[in-house]
Structure 1
Amino acid sequence: MGDDKKRTRQPNGRSSIYFGSDGKWHGRVTVGIRDDGKPDRRHVKRKTKAEAAEAVRNLERQRDSHTVRKPGKAWTVKTWLTHWIENIAPLSVGENTMVGYGVAVRKHLIPGLGAHRLDRLRPEHIERFYARMQANGSKPATAHQVHRTFRTALNEAVRRGHLGQNPVRLAKAPRLDEEEIEPYTVEEVRRLLVAAEQRRNSARWAIALALGLRQGEALGLKWTDIDLAKGVLWVRRSRRRPKYAHGCGDTCGRKAGFCPQRRRTNPETADTKSRAGRRAVGLPPQLVDLLRAHKVKQDAERSAAADAWHDEGWLFATKTGRGTSTRVDYDEWKELLHDAKVRDGRLHDARHTAATVLLILGVPERAVMGLMGWSSTSMAARYQHMVDTVRTSIAEQVDGLIWKQDTSESHGR
């Protein structure tokens, strides 16, 4: 055997290359420490010494950049996403977010990419998958939601050392045209508030239009969350949309939500999870007056209901004290729009209106983020383009009112 084929013992921890009895070149590299405390020694085998040396150098580069895959059976996209959706994601996000994650993982990602070995997934695989989704009729917003979910799941795989880098971050995301924000005008807001005065829980709509609380946040408010003397409201919880299971053993032939013996499977409310979501909001004096009047009306309903009243402390309750459901609240909003003769819109458009007014008034972006419960400056940026447009429009109106009139007068001289 030639001298270059002899196996020489290297100091502990050093990489080694040697010619084996099988006629192949072998390399061994220590890349770290295993869970049992022993060295994690990786092995490569190649036909030539040069190929073995390159494989050893590649392992050393992975070791030095902390991108070496952990030992053990390789994860597939399916096994990792299943583990992530069942065991990791629920610990850090709310129920509504989990619903979106579940659809992205089970309906799209696992059927489309699940067979790939996780550490061999490439950006090109992902981009072709997005193209197939859209070719099969998925909307750009759906593909983008899948992209965000996949990126989050694989970020965790990278953090835990199962993946060297996240290929989703390298893949070209599906293009998403941002939703046009169309807040209600001041005149429309006034008409809505006037029409709301004729309805139960009229303060509910003043809170939506003036403070911009999310639907779940507004319906999750209790009287203990409000200090009328100080003019402060605390957002602490959110009302959840109900989920149901069959109570009949799935024999009624209907969907679970319409089962005569249905049973609810999720809690009525959930604490606001994010730090940005838990917040104190100042109340304008007129809104404080509306809430005081609202309390007087609710106290009268409590007296009228007598023993049928459920003393649960909800700010916006039914005539018997129960919390208002999101579905009933949505229907009330649609009726309010009709009564006020205001263009149709989503309940979330009231939130857009509140955010827009704050930014137009020049309230600092950080303060608006705190009031609205935004955790990212990207949300404020979405509104800023529209706010700038409104400001420009106002400037043009002033220009037309003053200088054009002045010009016509000068021509008449």
Structure 2
Amino acid sequence: MVGLMRGRGEGSVYQRAQDGMWCAAIELPPHNGKRRKKIVTSKSKAVVLKKLAEIRRELERTGDLPTASQSLESWLTYWLDKVAAKRVRPSTLYTYRRQLEKQVIPVLGKVRLDKLTAAHIRRLHDHMNDAGLSSTYALTTHRLLSKALTDAVREGRVGRNVATLVDAPKLGRSDGEALTVDEAITVLDYARASLESDAYDPAPVLWATYLLTGIRRSELLALEWDRVTDVIDLSWQLQRIKDMDGTFEARHLTGKLYLTRPKSKSGWRIIPLVDPLKSMLEAHRRRSPSNPYGLVFARADGQPIEPSRASAAWKTWYTDVGLTDKHVPLHFLRHTAVDLLYAAGVDDDVKIEIVGHSNRSMTQAYKTKGNRPRLTDAMERFSAMLEKKETDHA
């Protein structure tokens, strides 16, 4: 080492004898009584001075700094286990982990946090685009990584979140389409016809219920008979959870299937049950075999219907019956329900309460480009509109 070569305000700056590299050191808060220093190096003295100024500002802002930069993979693993796990539900954490492990870590995992740049983020975008992933998935992955990097900044691991320096992936065209009124009526016709048979097939009535209520997939598959009276009580949802840590209120059904509480207050709601759905569910109950969970919709063997299997079954069903040539994911029956509520002239605040959105803009986004009496009136107008259309159609 060629002595300490300090200029005014430069601090501990020196040049190493063995390689001529310029170094700058700054004292950090001690850990377990041990002294700690942050050291940065460069071939240029001017660059080292700039780095020293940056870490001084960061130390003043955060109160501490890591002595060595960790890889992005190391940080994301820590973030999932120690940060995200305390914020989100187990099912959400499982989704986070899969997205990061499948997309981010293979592409950028070995990059050091302090070396991560906007170019790296663009590389991730290109990777997802080349893999043919949906624009929605690419956008959620970008936002997830940005969230993890925001926490890295808060903890003083890095000075800035480079994900914010890059435009997030833009959403492409919709990943699906809603049903038309005539197609919705056809679904109801199949549901009624299925109830005339003694053979148990929950699918047609399941689809009709989605359509006539706008209930989410996980909510309807969790519905129990003791929560169906003159109203439908949507206070649980069915989820497949890999690791249940006891953080959230849940009821175990079987295997990895649990009933959990809705993630928001707006999701926990009660909606009136009116005809024709009321009569359909009564007929469905009479011919349904019992199941140990008291579920309204279950497989023929009494086991719960897994959400992913319900989505796959819907696609197979509407293709087999020739309902439409469009791509209509199961979730888009919810979009159809919102469309029909609009067509029935239901007020915005009532639509919000029926479908469980948190605000008006969310409900408007679902449209394809209260109190109990008002809710009941809305459901009756909604159903009556379909009944009239069906009569006209006939």
* Stretch of structure 1 that moved more, 199-208 or 133-142: 133-142
Query: Which amino acid is the alignment partner of residue 134 of structure 1?
Result: N
Instruction: Summarize deviations over 1:307-349 as a string: whole Å, max 9, x none.
Output: xx54321111345543334436743674366548455533222
Is 1:349 paired with 2:345? no
Structure 2 unmatched ranges of 5 or more? 195-200, 244-252, 370-394
Is 1:271 paired with 2:267? no
Distance 1:174 1:373, change over 3 A: same
**2:192 aligned to which of 197, 205, 213:** 197
Distance 1:121 1:370, change over 3 A: farther
- RMSD (CA atoms): 4.3
How does 1:45-84 map onto structure 2 within 5 Å? 54-66=50-62, 70-84=65-79
How does 1:32-47 map onto structure 2 within 5 Å? 33=29, 36=32
Q: Paired residue for 1:165?
A: 160
* Counterparts of 1:21 and 1:156, CA distance in 2: 34
Identity of aligned residues (%): 25
- Do the aligned residues in 2 keep the contact of 1:238 with 1:270 (CA within 8 Å)? yes
* Stretch of structure 1 that moved more, 84-93 or 215-224: 84-93
Distance 1:239 1:29, change over 3 A: closer
- Do the aligned residues in 1 keep the contact of 2:335 with 2:367 (CA within 8 Å)? no
**2:272 aligned to which of 268, 274, 283:** 283
* Counterparts of 1:321 and 1:22, CA distance in 2: 74
- Do the aligned residues in 2 keep the contact of 1:238 with 1:271 (CA within 8 Å)? yes
- Do the aligned residues in 1 keep the contact of 2:178 with 2:336 (CA within 8 Å)? yes
Q: Paired residue for 1:182?
A: 177
* Counterparts of 1:378 and 1:108, CA distance in 2: 31
- Do the aligned residues in 2 keep the contact of 1:242 with 1:266 (CA within 8 Å)? no
Q: Paired residue for 2:287?
A: 297
Quote how far apart the aligned CAs of 1:7 are: 10
Q: Paired residue for 1:148?
A: 143
Quote how far apart the aligned CAs of 1:79 are: 1.1
Q: Which has the higher contact order (CA 8 A, sep 6+)?
A: 2
* Counterparts of 1:41 and 1:118, CA distance in 2: 19
Instruction: Summarize deviations over 1:119-177 as a string: whole Å, max 9, x none.
Output: 22111221134235534655545543432332232233233332332111222223331
* Counterparts of 1:239 and 1:314, CA distance in 2: 14
* Counterparts of 2:60 and 2:73, CA distance in 1: 29
- Do the aligned residues in 2 keep the contact of 1:239 with 1:269 (CA within 8 Å)? yes
If the length of structure 2 is used for normalisation, what is the TM-score?
A: 0.68
How does 1:11-410 map onto structure 2 within 5 Å? 17=11, 33=29, 36=32, 54-66=50-62, 70-94=65-89, 97-98=92-93, 100-135=95-130, 140-179=135-174, 182-199=177-194, 200-201=201-202, 203-226=205-228, 228-229=229-230, 231-240=231-240, 266-272=255-261, 274-276=263-265, 278-286=267-275, 287-298=277-288, 301=289, 309-319=290-300, 321-326=302-307, 327=309, 330-331=312-313, 334-335=316-317, 338-339=320-321, 341-343=323-325, 345-361=328-344, 363=346, 368-374=351-357, 379-380=362-363, 382-383=365-366, 386=369
Quote how far apart the aligned CAs of 1:104 are: 3.1
Name the SS of the counterpart of 1:196 in structure 2.
helix
* Counterparts of 1:160 and 1:205, CA distance in 2: 47
Distance 1:266 1:162, change over 3 A: farther
- Do the aligned residues in 1 keep the contact of 2:153 with 2:159 (CA within 8 Å)? yes
Query: Which amino acid is the alignment partner of residue 190 of structure 2?
Result: A
Name the SS of the counterpart of 1:269 in structure 2.
strand
Quote how far apart the aligned CAs of 1:275 are: 1.4
* Counterparts of 1:49 and 1:268, CA distance in 2: 60
Structure 1 unmatched ranges of 5 or more? 9-14, 244-263, 302-308, 387-413
* Counterparts of 1:168 and 1:29, CA distance in 2: 28
* Counterparts of 2:149 and 2:135, CA distance in 1: 21
Query: Which amino acid is the alignment partner of residue 159 of structure 2?
Result: G
Name the SS of the counterpart of 2:338 in structure 1.
helix
- Do the aligned residues in 1 keep the contact of 2:66 with 2:156 (CA within 8 Å)? no
Quote how far apart the aligned CAs of 1:354 are: 1.1
Quote how far apart the aligned CAs of 1:17 are: 3.0
* Counterparts of 2:163 and 2:329, CA distance in 1: 33
Q: Paired residue for 1:249?
A: none
Query: Which amino acid is the alignment partner of residue 225 of structure 1?
Result: R
Query: Which amino acid is the alignment partner of residue 329 of structure 2?
Result: R
If the length of structure 1 is used for normalisation, what is the TM-score?
A: 0.66
* Counterparts of 2:33 and 2:345, CA distance in 1: 59
